Chains A and B, each alone.
Chain A
Amino acid sequence: MSELLGHYNYWIVIVLMMTGFYTVIARPNLVKKVIGLFIFQTSVFILFISMAKVEGGTAPIIEEGLSVYSNPLPHVLILTAIVVSLATTALGLALVVRIHDAYGTSNEDDIHVQDEED
């Protein structure tokens, strides 16, 4: 039981990751795909943040009487990864706007039909 509850961060990571991944694969709507991609990336951020926690550790600020700190490095890495994911999402949505202008739809199946007709 403690195996299950003790790792609940990681269970959330897995659920989010699969939710995002499924959305990317199964949804025909291009905007929903971008959202799925974003959820997928977010799950990885939680994975990194979870591993930074040191049991009994506090925030990494030097203070009298404290000797155990959480690891600050993964937070910094994820700050960078969030910027990357933001850029990806923005670019993805911008592409969807352009696709919608060009095809008049943002549904993948309709786009395929139009491409076949060309």
Chain B
Amino acid sequence: MLLSNLPALQVVIPLVSAPACLLLRNPRHAWACALIVSWLVLAMALLLLQQVYTLGTISYAIGAWATPWGIEYRIDMAGALMILVIATVGAVMMPYAWRSIQHELHSKHTGIYYTCYLLCLTGLLGIVVTGDAFNLFVFLEISSLSSYVLISLGSSRRALTAAYQYLVMGTIGATFILIGIGLLYMMTGTLNMQDISQRLPAVADTRTIRVAFAFVTVGVSIKLALFPLHIWLPNAYTYAPSVVSAFMAATATKVGVYVLLRFFFTLFGLQFSFNAMHVGNILMLLAVAAILVASLVAIFQDNVKRMLAYSSVAQIGYIILGISLATTAGISAGMLHLFNHAMIKGALFMTMGCIFLRLGSVELRDMQGLARQMPWTMAAFVAGGLSLVGLPLTSGFISKWYLVNAALADSYWPLAVLILVSSLLALIYIWRVVEAAYFHPPGADMHKVREAPASMLIPTWLLIGVNLYIGIDAGLITAIAQQGAASLIGQALP
């Protein structure tokens, strides 16, 4: 009974417990509530993945209203993998959040933080499970509105302007998606994604559908911060509280990529998106620009959080590059990198949270000689950094390997060269931090700095551990990514 309702419970439990966090006056109680819920969500995500793995795609009618009248929740392999990413990051972040939030936020804001955190989790999970185009827009707005609040909780006043900028761009993006969905409804008369994909080929060769495709593509690209629509991202990640940066970097943009995949492959279909509209060429160009430009900009940043934010824009470029190839190998490489980058960037931003807690700054010049005082935190940063570069025995190597192979299979050898060159760029910006922390003499006040508390170090190392484990044994995750890609492509074929 409970098991068969998992797709709905996955979304409903964080949604209804969010207000409870606001009502619980004591910050410790609010934290405990959010902790229990986020771990429950992880348990449900694992059960769902197991169900999808053994039984295949799950279709769930909300309130037992039959589709296409009711809203359908639909989880296939790609969706189950996304839910696992979100739930894992959400669960790992919670024990970490307690000390970090206590330090960075005013005590009267902690309740708001945990409420918005759960709402954001609800929205992100909802986007993944829903099989209804309009429902997707609603969940997108739930996650976006709560993330604007989360960002604005940052300690600097620039957090407010960053949140405002994200609000304006995010709303334009979401409204574009709404226009696209409206035009699709106009032509097909349905909002159920499966129905739309069946009825679309008959009307595909009309201007309305082409316009809908353009609106959706631009709208989702803003949400996932595809170059050159990434302008909101660096400020938002730099000035948000550390936990929020880590959570958003690991999940929000990744869900954006997932929405793009859903629209391209499930709704519009491979044939229309890539053969009729040639979106693959455009995406490839933008992805290449993102990888090169953002990596170069990252090298010149003195604030390490901002550097990691630009690096995120570049890494999103890799994911999109895989998708733009529109082959099973390319998409599975993209999804593999999506998973790996969520773990890497989550861990790297978490080390920044540890450093901010003890040092009160994440500027490069303040971090000189830090490695002697915070060896475990800096070791985590180095491990994550090497994974970002793509050194063998780290997860970054696995996904880049598959990406290079996919590019070569389509004889795009310049792309393979580009991936290698940009890895060197990543090495340069990671090295700047390593050099400052390990090889510079410590400043005068450095001896007062202590290692971060275990409640923050253990979650960080947990994500690093996942990275290193995938670097050594990538069998399971590669299989899931390949199945996910196959399910996306498979649905696209008539």
Residues 63 to 80 of chain A near chain B (Cβ within 8 Å): 74, 77, 80
The docked-state distance in angstroms from the alpha carbon of A118 to that of B161 is 14
Q: A37-B168, A37-B171, A81-B178 are in contact. Are A88 and B161 (CB under 8 A)?
A: no
A1: CB under 8 A from chain B? no
Which residues from B are CB-within-8-Å of A115?
Answer: 158, 161
The docked-state distance in angstroms from the alpha carbon of A106 to that of B363 is 28
CB pair A98–B152 under 8 Å, yes or no, is yes
Q: A44-B179, A48-B182 are in contact. Are A92 and B164 (CB under 8 A)?
A: yes
CB pair A51–B152 under 8 Å, yes or no, is no
B39: CB under 8 A from chain A? no
Write the nearest CB–CB distance from A75 to chain B, whole angstroms.
13
Which residues from B are CB-within-8-Å of A92?
Answer: 164, 167-168, 171
Write the nearest CB–CB distance from A85 to chain B, whole angstroms.
8
**A interface footprint on B138-174 (CB within 8 Å = 1, 0 otherwise):** 1001000100110010000110110110011001100
> For residue B140, which residue of chain A has the nearest CB?
A84
The docked-state distance in angstroms from the alpha carbon of A41 to that of B172 is 8
CB pair B178–A111 under 8 Å, yes or no, is no
CB pair B134–A77 under 8 Å, yes or no, is yes
Which residues from A are CB-within-8-Å of B185?
Answer: 51, 74
The docked-state distance in angstroms from the alpha carbon of A21 to that of B148 is 20
Residues 45 to 60 of chain A near chain B (Cβ within 8 Å): 47-48, 51
B186: CB under 8 A from chain A? yes
CB pair A47–B182 under 8 Å, yes or no, is yes
The docked-state distance in angstroms from the alpha carbon of A78 to that of B148 is 23
The docked-state distance in angstroms from the alpha carbon of A83 to that of B137 is 13
A16: CB under 8 A from chain B? no
Q: A47-B182, A88-B141 are in contact. Are A41 and B171 (CB under 8 A)?
A: yes
Q: A44-B182, A77-B134, A84-B141 are in contact. Are A99 and B175 (CB under 8 A)?
A: no
CB pair A24–B175 under 8 Å, yes or no, is no
CB pair A24–B167 under 8 Å, yes or no, is no
The docked-state distance in angstroms from the alpha carbon of A64 to that of B185 is 29
CB pair B172–A40 under 8 Å, yes or no, is yes
Interface size range on B against A: 20 to 34
CB pair B175–A95 under 8 Å, yes or no, is no
Interface size range on A against B: 20 to 34
> For residue A33, which residue of chain B has the nearest CB?
B168
**A interface footprint on B111-155 (CB within 8 Å = 1, 0 otherwise):** 000000000000000000000001001100100010011001000
Write the nearest CB–CB distance from A50 to chain B, whole angstroms.
10
> For residue B179, which residue of chain A has the nearest CB?
A44
The docked-state distance in angstroms from the alpha carbon of A95 to that of B179 is 26
CB pair B134–A40 under 8 Å, yes or no, is no
CB pair A95–B157 under 8 Å, yes or no, is no
CB pair A99–B164 under 8 Å, yes or no, is yes
A22: CB under 8 A from chain B? no
Which residues from A are CB-within-8-Å of B138?
Answer: 80, 84
The docked-state distance in angstroms from the alpha carbon of A80 to that of B185 is 16
Write the nearest CB–CB distance from A1 to chain B, whole angstroms.
21
A87: CB under 8 A from chain B? yes
A15: CB under 8 A from chain B? no
> For residue A102, which residue of chain B has the nearest CB?
B157
The docked-state distance in angstroms from the alpha carbon of A21 to that of B137 is 20
> For residue B182, which residue of chain A has the nearest CB?
A48
The docked-state distance in angstroms from the alpha carbon of A118 to that of B152 is 19
Write the nearest CB–CB distance from A11 to chain B, whole angstroms.
16
A96: CB under 8 A from chain B? yes
CB pair B167–A88 under 8 Å, yes or no, is yes
Write the nearest CB–CB distance from B181 to chain A, whole angstroms.
9
Which residues from A are CB-within-8-Å of B145?
Answer: 84, 87-88, 91
CB pair A41–B160 under 8 Å, yes or no, is no
Write the nearest CB–CB distance from A24 to chain B, whole angstroms.
6
Contact of A41 among B158, B161, B175 (CB under 8 A): B175
Some 23 contacts from A to B, beta carbons below 8 A apart, are: A30-B164, A37-B171, A40-B172, A40-B175, A41-B175, A47-B182, A48-B182, A51-B186, A74-B185, A77-B134, A80-B138, A81-B137, A84-B141, A84-B145, A88-B167, A88-B171, A95-B148, A95-B163, A95-B167, A98-B152, A103-B157, A111-B161, A115-B161
Which 10 pairs between the two chains have the least Cβ-Cβ distance? A102-B157, A84-B141, A95-B164, A99-B160, A51-B186, A98-B160, A48-B182, A88-B171, A92-B167, A77-B134
A-to-B contact residues, CB < 8 Å: 21, 24, 30, 33, 37, 40-41, 44, 47-48, 51, 74, 77, 80-81, 84, 87-88, 91-92, 95-96, 98-99, 102-103, 111, 115, 118
